[in-house]
Chains A and B, each alone.
Chain A
Amino acid sequence: MMRGKPDEDDYWNSSKFKAFTFDDEDDDFTRLKESKRAVNSIRSLVEEEDEEDDVEKVSWSGEPVGSISWSVKETESSIRSTGEVRDQSFPKIHTAPSLPKNSSGYSLSSLFKGKAKTGSFQSFSESFGDPSIRNYAPELRKPKSEYKDYVSDWTPEETVKRMQQGKVYSLEKFRSLQDKLLLLDEAVNAHDGNVITAVLIYLKKSLSKEILFRELITREIALRHYIHYLKEIGEQKLLVELFKSMDRTEDMALMQYRDHLNVRDENKRRDFLKNCLSFPFSPDDATHVQDHYTLLERQIIIEANDKQVESSGQADIFKKYPRKASILNMPIITTLYYSCFYHYGESDGTFSSPANIRKTFRISDKQFLLTCLGARAKLKAWFDVDALFTTKNWLGYTKKRSPIGFHRIVDILQKNNAPVQVLQDYVNLVEDVEQKISLAQKYKCHDVIINTYRDLKDRQQLIVYRGKVEKGSSEYRKIEEILSNSQLRWKN
């Protein structure tokens, strides 16, 4: 069926490795193909008997065609196929090898052939549930005599096989809905996504979408191929209709929401998001999309304002720390950081103030603190950092509190290059003594270590530590002082 390629290794000559020849311009070859096809079809006309063999050959799958029930039925199918295992064939999967062999010994195709010949075909919907009938495809064909042209006289199985092998095929003769669906189910049965999609493209062209959608509902595998195909070629509208017809409204909403990524202009994107608000999201997602819209709306206002302020050179903060990028399309937390950086201390009323952002987007205390801390520490505004943790109780005493462990705070401050004087305040607040000492050692907060050992009355450790600090330094002197203090009662 293919041109001879004398140069090629034997191996590559096995049919499947051949190049596809859709568009071959070789005239000789085309003619050869034509005649071969003609010869083939003549044979099938003449030798009716041969057909059984043909079917036998392609009935390897033996699986029911209904794709939705694939998972459940495949067990069944492989059990049935045990009846026709030929000793010489490549082994099949037996899901239940312990079951007794099918005693009939008939091949699948011969069974179905008998059945199909006697029974006239019911309407398609009735026969839908019975895989055996649909498996026997050749009977669905019109009597041969009706064919004027037998160029593409292939069964669904043969067609799918030819497509898989990259041979010439034709889908045009699959005109009745029944034939089309048989073809689709055959493609699904062959587990070849490429062919499934090809068949779906043909169905898309030749069936009204309502009919196609209706049939796809019961064919999960084909449906997923169809959705993926539409996604890839960007047929958004059709996808939306598909989801709608299947009542998959959340998928539909997300699908449409996804499109905002294609809108470059920020004002148009904001309008697009506003439009999204009416889509049927799940309640949680609806809140998030609402946030998305609000966020972009505010970012546009903040951006316009700050750009103007920056270029006019009015505010010191922009002069000292010029903005590296626009705030548009940044996440909420980045926006909050930005606002803590450039708009700290603004009143709650302005969109750009940290307090307003916190409230609008329901940001947790912990999250707010972390972000704020990062921004203020970056600016080395240690006073602001201090204020973040300071709470007054009703008696007016101040105390430092934090929703996250102080060892974490130390870590963040250290990463922002906080000086030792600042760091040690926070190291001191770490509750766990061991952790406190290890942090203090890591960041060289001598005072904290010395005081902790003193409080622990641990003379030995203090002596050890004296050996680690520089002789004559203030730390050294401090240790000396403590060690010589006769008031202290050491535990060791």
Chain B
Amino acid sequence: MAHSVRRDAPELPDFSLLKRLARDQLIYLLEQQHDVDKLYKVEHKPILYRMVRGCFLYPLTNWFLFPDVVNADKAFGRFRRYKIIFSPQKFYACENLLEEQGIFGDVTTDEWSFYLLPLDDDIISLELPEFFRDYFLEGDQRWVRTAGSALHLLHSVYGPFSKVYGIGRCSKMAYESWREQVEEGEQRARQAEIGNVFLIDRDVDLVTPLCSQVVYEGLVDDIFRIKCGCVEFCPDVTSSDKSIKVMLNSQDKVFNEIRNEHFSQVFGFLSQKARNLQTAYDKRSGMNIKQMKTFVSEELKGLKQEHRLLSLHIGASESMMKKKTKQDFQELLKTEHSLLEGFEIRECISYIEEHINRQVSMVESMRLLCLLSLTENGLLPKDYRSLKAQFLQSYGIEHLLTFSNLKQLGLLVEQQPGETLTVMESRVGKLVNDKTAGKLTDAFSSLAKKSNFRALGRRLNLVPKSDEEYDLRVPRDMAYIFSGAYIPLSCKLIEQVLERDGWTGLEEVTRMLNGHEFAVTDARVKTDSQRIILVMFLGGCTFSEISALRFLGREKGIKFIVVTTAITNSARLLESMLDNHA
């Protein structure tokens, strides 16, 4: 609200084109090629409606269940022909399964290359929530080419891009895949609408998505879960007997003004807004007929619209406030901030312990444990053992499987005895030159994934000194999205690289992040869209990070476009690690 937008901030390109392209292609696919006239959304249960010709929209995560659907039909004596349209890409593994199950002829397949869903003026999602688990946990690169294709699509519609920066193994691979696709296809010279690109792997910064979100949009996502830019507000919010679905994007004028604000500022803003609205309504008194007529025809509709939105967001804020008070949010945040700061860790551990003991939300407990591990470079063996045991007692022993996943990904690990690796690493590092040291670091890091959060925090000033007052009304840096306690590592990296026009001077930082950074310049491209920057998160990004980037953009007079495999938050991220269901 109080932000002055720099007047020279560039305009964003129009992404509705992407939607149109995708839709046209689907319609073409269905109408021209398959004579389909109706679409059905199908869940994993027998198909009861009669259809001669229909279409499956099926979540790819469960592709291996599809034969069951067909065979269940057959068991009922229903013989149908099926068409699978994979989106965004065909799975060879699935086709093979169809073949093995002897239903290949009954089922035919096609592909709908729908890569990018614009969620807002500056957010584009690949809608691949499974990306995080598939790539980072299972090590399956099935979405890497998809990411490359998405970049290729953006490049051919809004490019060419002049510079690409990136960090992370997957970013590198996605870049390679994109480059290969560019070289395969023909290139057309066009006016570039996007200047630079930044690619980042989610595992470069796992701390940020695990923090509680306190910016309005992030908080709404944490509590009500925004799906595809749409949220369902429960009766509690709407103060009626039914819940309603609302689109949350820049079209919603009220939302647009509060989405990036720290929650503590939202109430004041909303009540001010309500007062203004009242004044506008009050104008009616003392109007003559003619004025009244103009008022009704011109202003009233807008005011009513605003009224509706306002009461909705006030309702949402109240409901969130209530929920958060109930779970002692203040104390939770205090613990989180202590963890980020590395302060009173023992107290934090006993807080987490009690959280587990009282069987409060399982995902929350896990989130705190992971934050502890990430910020402390792993748990002391004795703490790890004791907390794990208590966790299993409280939430079920089958979470052994979850712990194994968290360990595999490096989210929750035991400290290696004596941290011998670090010592060895630095010693060896001094003996040999930088290049070899880089390789060694790689080798070491595969042995023990370390987060190095403290050292990174110091080097990049991620955690401001806590004794200073932080005025949330006039944020001075990106830390405002976490109440001034922490600048998100991901966004700080982006800021630094853009400022330095590359990774020079950040060698120490990238070494601690396990390397895989790159910066390439396409000398052929001369563009004046340098100040429009596309940031792609491989593995998901949070609304808080988007808010932070918007803030950074306002400060620097640039615009960020966030492309992400999915919008994520701590709950989604951790739920994807669960293995406790059949």
Q: Which residues of A contact B (CB under 8 A)?
A: 5, 7-9, 11-12, 14-17, 19-20, 22-23, 60-61, 71-72, 74-75, 88-96, 163-166, 190-198, 201, 220-221, 224-225, 227-229, 231-234, 251, 254, 257-258, 260-262, 284-285, 288-289, 291-292, 295, 329-334, 361, 363-364, 366-367, 370-371, 374, 404, 408, 412
Contact = CB atoms under 8 A, between A and B. Distances in A.
A284 B389 CA distance: 9
B64 A232 contact: yes
Interface in B497-528: 518, 520-524
B394 A192 contact: no
Interface in B115-161: 134, 138-145, 148-149, 152, 156-157
Given A17-B113, A91-B521, A257-B400, A331 B92 contact: no
Contact of A20 (B111, B389, B400): B111
- In the complex, the 10 A-B pairs of residues with the closest C-beta atoms, listed nearest first: A224-B139, A193-B142, A193-B141, A198-B92, A191-B173, A261-B582, A292-B397, A228-B138, A91-B520, A93-B518
Interface residues on B, range: 35 or more
A135 to B, nearest CB: 16
A8 B28 contact: yes
A22 B93 contact: no
Given A163-B92, A295-B397, A192 B177 contact: yes
Contact of B185 (A15, A164, A195, A333): A15
B394 to A, nearest CB: 5
Given A14-B186, A233-B64, A93 B172 contact: yes
Given A20-B110, A90-B179, A289-B400, A367 B393 contact: yes
8 contacts: A5-B28, A8-B28, A72-B443, A93-B520, A192-B145, A232-B63, A232-B64, A261-B580
B299 interface: no
A382 B429 CA distance: 64
Nearest to A408: B354
B109 A75 contact: no
Given A331-B395, A370-B357, A258 B110 contact: no
Contact of B141 (A192, A198, A251): A192
Contacts of A88: 524
A370 B353 CA distance: 12
A60 B95 CA distance: 29
A288 B400 contact: yes
A348 B74 CA distance: 56
B223 interface: no
Contacts of A333: 357, 359, 393-394
Given A257-B400, A288-B397, A331-B396, 17 more contacts: A9-B24, A12-B25, A60-B179, A71-B169, A71-B442, A91-B164, A93-B520, A166-B90, A190-B177, A193-B140, A195-B92, A196-B141, A232-B63, A292-B398, A329-B396, A331-B392, A331-B394
Given A91-B520, A198-B92, A191 B21 contact: no
Contact of A232 (B90, B93, B354): B93
B111 A92 contact: no
Contacts of B104: 23
Contacts of B397: 288-289, 291-292, 295, 331-332
A96 B520 CA distance: 11
Interface of B: 21, 24-25, 28-29, 32-33, 63-64, 89-93, 95-97, 104, 108-111, 113, 134, 138-145, 148-149, 152, 156-157, 164, 166, 169, 172-177, 179-186, 353-354, 357-359, 385, 388-390, 392-398, 400-401, 404, 435, 438-439, 442-443, 446, 518, 520-524, 579-582
B144 A191 contact: yes
A295 B393 CA distance: 10
Nearest to B440: A72
Contact of B143 (A193, A220, A371): A193
B169 A90 contact: no
A91 B173 contact: no
Contact of A332 (B138, B144, B166, B393): B393
B111 A16 contact: no
A251 B390 CA distance: 22
A19 B522 contact: no
B138 A16 contact: no
Nearest to A281: B400
A422 B524 CA distance: 79
Nearest to B180: A60
A224 B181 contact: no
Judged by DSSP, the binding face of B is helix
B141 A93 contact: no
Contacts of B183: 60, 89-90
A292 B396 CA distance: 9
A7 B24 CA distance: 10
A367 B390 contact: yes
Nearest to A229: B93
Residue of B172, B174, B396 with most chain A CB atoms under a 10 A cut-off: B396
A258 B578 CA distance: 12
Contacts of A23: 104, 108-109
B324 to A, nearest CB: 16
A490 to B, nearest CB: 35
B416 to A, nearest CB: 15
A201 B93 contact: yes
B140 to A, nearest CB: 5
Contacts of B95: 22
A261 B398 contact: yes
A20 B156 CA distance: 21
Contact of A225 (B141, B179, B442): B141
B181 A16 contact: yes
A191 B92 contact: no
A333 to B, nearest CB: 5
Contact of A198 (B93, B143, B179, B524): B93
Given A20-B110, A23-B109, A90 B92 contact: no
B439 A72 contact: yes
Contacts of A330: 396
A23 to B, nearest CB: 5
A288 B92 contact: no
A229 B172 CA distance: 24
Contacts of B21: 9, 11-12
Contacts of A262: 582
Given A92-B179, A224-B140, A254-B401, A331 B393 contact: yes
Contacts of A412: 358
Contacts of B169: 71
Between B28, B169, B176, B580, the greatest number of chain A beta carbons within 10 A of the residue's beta carbon is seen for B176
Contacts of A94: 518, 520
Given A16-B184, A232-B93, A193 B144 contact: yes
Contacts of A190: 145, 177, 180
A258 B579 contact: yes
Nearest to A164: B145
Pick from A16, A19, A332 the residue with the most CB of B within 10 Å: A19
Contact of B139 (A221, A285, A334): A221
Contact of A16 (B176, B185, B400): B185
Nearest to A404: B354
B289 to A, nearest CB: 54
Contacts of A404: 354
